Structure 1
Amino acid sequence: MESSLTELPTLLPNQSMDSCPPVENTAENMMFGIYYIIVFLLALSGNSLALWIFARQRNNSSPANVFLLHLAVADLFYVFILPLRATYHLTGGHWPFGEIPCRLAGFFFYVNMYASLYFLACVAGDRYLAVVHAVRSLKVRRPHYAHIASFALWILVIVSMAPLLITKQTVEVNGSTVCLQLYREKASWRALVSLVVAFTPPFIATLSCYLLIVNSLRKGSRLEPALKLRALRTIGLVMFIYVVCFLPYHLSRATFILGYGHPDLSCQIKRGLALANRLTSSLTCLNGGLDPLVYLFAAEKFRGSVRRIFCRDKSGGSGATSGELKGTHESSLSAKSEF
């Protein structure tokens, strides 16, 4: 997973070059700084609440909730790096924190992004089994197995990103310290291969699972109409996160890697590629603010807890409504899918 990104960039738009001066300006840095502060506040509050609720439900959880719990942990790991990014831009593109925080900023960025991608893929796989193979998947869809799969994914992602922690990542440019880990503006074929390998499997798995779910619902699933609508909303939201937060970044990175080092490329095009790289990189951080909406749509018990906290729902109970068992095959599907 982009382990080749541990190499220092050979081409940086931030560097002082006579033929292609820096592209960052005060307005751009101000916009990025304010943006990261807003995302920090949204992601911190939403994921902290989610982690607290999921922790309270740990004795009565589902595989989907387990994956969402780990997703919230991944988001919180990265949330605390966002103020550092904001400071970098608000100080005019200067990194005042030193070498180790720079390495950690890049490490947590990639751990969060790829852990999020794979945990969302796991949620999609669990939804597919619950809706399309509800009865046959009962033995597999257990929280214990979900935790094992989650810890295996953590190990895979952390080991893949670990080289980022041992490579020097700060340079001095025009009297300012630049953290190379913030925006990986580097042209490398190995980075391109890593990019494809890291992003393509979870994206294809998520898209395939949700297309199969939609096909099953279209053919006449035994889920109640309200639950079908909720299922479609969940699918739409997760794919929205993929399309807005992750797909633009990987397409931009691929374009940057393929095009930036071309000798015939004009300075204006290089500036555009660099700006697109920074913009799409900032979009990936937005997933931390959007993921709590996935929890609301995907986890019935999570919604019930939120209603009791904010709306003071007097109905009490467990928070489960149409997802409760009613002794029928239809309700069994509802409870297992937890849409």
Structure 2
Amino acid sequence: IKLNTRVTANINAVTPLVNAIMPPVLIIELLLGLPGNLMALWVFCHHLQSWTPNIVYLLNLVLADFLLLVSLPFRIDHMLRGENWIFGDAWCRINHFMLSVNRSASIGFMTAVAVDRYFKVVHPHHKVNFISLRQAGAIACIIWIVVISLRLPLLTNVLLSEKNSVCNNTIHCNNVSICRSFNSYKDPPKGIKLHYIVYMAEYFLPLMVLIFCSIRVTCILHHCQMDKKKLKRAVRSVLVIVVIFNICFLPGIATGISGLYLQKLGNKYCDAYRLNNQLFGLSMGFTYLNSTLDPFIYCFSNSLFRNEIKKSINWFGLVELRLSCSDNAENR
């Protein structure tokens, strides 16, 4: 059942609740995420001689976060203006492309870090554990190529439409240009359909991988007699990734799927769909939170970053710095 033009325009109208709550939330996330990722970038580049495949994946996670941090000020401005996008359709598409690439790349490199931990603990003698930096860089490049290729439709999508419906990613409603990638399309173009499919698949497929890795690593911890301290760190590393993954991406996927379902039910569910749209808008606050929480992954997954944090804290005289040889062995 398709929504008629009048209802579609009404559903696509601005959402005052989202515009009131999201700007301060996004500003806080921007202010917290920027210094954490700048420090991570400095740490990893400062220890070039100690690079491992694990650091290669984490560094690419940092680079993905910068795509989000560059894009957030424009989203904040958009909401402060009552969802009036003033930067034009081309930058609207680029902005959504950067946000989507950040989400996809973050998920990809989170999964890569978790799989790296899994092989080091569950299959310590597997050849995957002995790949070179060049091979790790090739894996990172493949992840970027796949992510960018799947998100290109957000740049190339062109849909001519009549007043109060969608033109590219921008809706013109009551003289307000709303820049969204999820809208009530009467007939979504193929690029947008692909965007929806990727949005869902990139959550559920990595989730299964992360759950498998966490279960296997936890089982090894309980049944193996090897270095328990190192195993516990590996378990914490994977579990932190699973927790951050779900905190950031589960709300968006849940409200996104329910919105697509309500849209199929027809006009009588318009109010429920409109409410779901607001919840989906609020869920983006959790999605953008990943750049703020990713430094926890760096800290739990790599001793270089953890030791730099200890040094920084020790510089203020708050704790005693303790560096162990086991931390250095953890990065191998």
Same fold, TM exceeding 0.5?
yes
Task: Provide the C-alpha distance between the structure 1 equivalents of 2:117 and 2:5, rounded to a whole number of angstroms.
Answer: 43
Residue in structure 2 matching 1:197, options 198, 201, 215: 201
Are 1:13 and 1:23, in contact at CA under 8 Å, matched by a contact in 2? no
Residue in structure 2 matching 1:211, options 206, 209, 215: 215
Q: Which residue of structure 2 aligns with residue 277 of structure 1?
A: 280
Relative to 1, partners in 2 of residues 1:81 and 1:196: Cα closer, same or farther, differing over 3 Å? Answer: closer
Task: Provide the C-alpha distance between the structure 2 equivalents of 1:99 and 1:279, rounded to a whole number of angstroms.
Answer: 23
Q: Which residue of structure 2 aligns with residue 146 of structure 1?
A: 136
Q: Which residue of structure 2 aligns with residue 81 of structure 1?
A: 71
Residue in structure 2 matching 1:231, options 211, 229, 234: 234
Q: Shift of residue 14 of structure 1? A: 10
Q: Which moved more, 1:49-58 or 1:163-172?
A: 163-172
Task: Provide the C-alpha distance between the structure 2 equivalents of 1:116 and 1:13, rounded to a whole number of angstroms.
Answer: 38
Q: Which residue of structure 1 aligns with residue 112 of structure 2?
A: 122
Aligned-partner residue type, residue 254 of structure 1: I
* 3-state SS of 1:80 partner: helix
Relative to 1, partners in 2 of residues 1:14 and 1:116: Cα closer, same or farther, differing over 3 Å? Answer: farther
Task: Provide the C-alpha distance between the structure 2 equivalents of 1:320 and 1:143, rounded to a whole number of angstroms.
Answer: 24
Task: Provide the C-alpha distance between the structure 2 equivalents of 1:190 and 1:60, rounded to a whole number of angstroms.
Answer: 40
- 1:239-274, Cα deviation, whole Å (9 max, x unpaired): 111211112212221221122232253332112221
Relative to 1, partners in 2 of residues 1:86 and 1:133: Cα closer, same or farther, differing over 3 Å? Answer: same
Say whether 1:293 aligns with 2:284: no
Aligned residue pair count: 314
Task: Provide the C-alpha distance between the structure 1 equivalents of 2:131 and 2:107, rounded to a whole number of angstroms.
Answer: 20
Q: Which residue of structure 1 aligns with residue 165 of structure 2?
A: none
Relative to 1, partners in 2 of residues 1:150 and 1:279: Cα closer, same or farther, differing over 3 Å? Answer: same
Residue in structure 2 matching 1:156, options 126, 129, 146: 146
Q: Shift of residue 143 of structure 1? A: 2.5
Q: Relative to total residues, which structure has the larger helix share, 1 or 2?
A: 2
Relative to 1, partners in 2 of residues 1:335 and 1:65: Cα closer, same or farther, differing over 3 Å? Answer: closer
Task: Provide the C-alpha distance between the structure 2 equivalents of 1:11 and 1:108, rounded to a whole number of angstroms.
Answer: 31
Say whether 1:96 aligns with 2:100: no
Q: Which residue of structure 2 aligns with residue 174 of structure 1?
A: 174
Runs of 5+ consecutive residues of structure 2 not aligned to the other structure = 158-167
Residue in structure 1 matching 2:247, options 244, 247, 254: 244
Identity value in percent? 25
Say whether 1:65 aligns with 2:69: no
* 3-state SS of 2:215 partner: helix
- 1:98-124, Cα deviation, whole Å (9 max, x unpaired): 222211111011101111111111111
Task: Provide the C-alpha distance between the structure 2 equivalents of 1:240 and 1:180, rounded to a whole number of angstroms.
Answer: 28
Aligned-partner residue type, residue 174 of structure 1: N
- 1:216-250, Cα deviation, whole Å (9 max, x unpaired): 1111241233x343333222221111211112212
Q: Shift of residue 79 of structure 1? A: 0.7
Q: Which moved more, 1:129-138 or 1:90-99?
A: 129-138
Say whether 1:36 aligns with 2:26: yes
| Cα-Cα RMSD | 2.9
